[in-house]
Amino acid sequence: MLGSLILLAVVMPVVAEDEQADPRETLKSAIPEGIRLLSAKEYTGFLKSFVAPDDLKKITERKSMEEFAKRFGERKAGRLLEVLKEIKSGTPELDAAGTTATFQLKEAVGGKGTIKFVKVKKYWYIKN
């Protein structure tokens, strides 16, 4: 009996960690996670988390993940970080299916006045 309790005490924390929700499951948690990754300059982790799998596959067929992350960090990460900070407390407009969320920006960034997220299976990804 005591051995079973000890085993449960060791196994239960591991199971609880595995059951934690992925931050991309909701926009409310996805956006702060994106901010965290970009602020830490974890560009590879950000891209793997926030570029839809099919899009990421197409991109990495043409260039390495390292090259993609480096160019993203040099050209787009700073602007995207500011956009995510702007929208983190905002409310998006959802399409009828609830799988595309559009946030209006106060000022256009890179010629775009919105940022879109698309839900693929159970995770939200940045679309534009």
Whether the per-residue pLDDT at 1 is higher than 60: the answer is no
Choice between 16 and 111, residue whose per-residue pLDDT is larger: 111
pLDDT top residue among 69 and 17: 69
Mean of per-residue pLDDT scores for the chain:
89
Q: In whole angstroms, what is the distance from residue 118 CA to residue 102 CA?
A: 9
Closest to 101 in 3D by CA, of 77, 126, 76, 82? 126
Q: Choose among 56, 19, 27, 45: nearest CA to 122.
A: 27
* Mean pLDDT value of segment 92-113: 95
- Distance in angstroms (rounded) separating the CA atoms of residues 31 and 1: 46
User: pLDDT at position 71, please?
Assistant: 98
pTM: 0.82
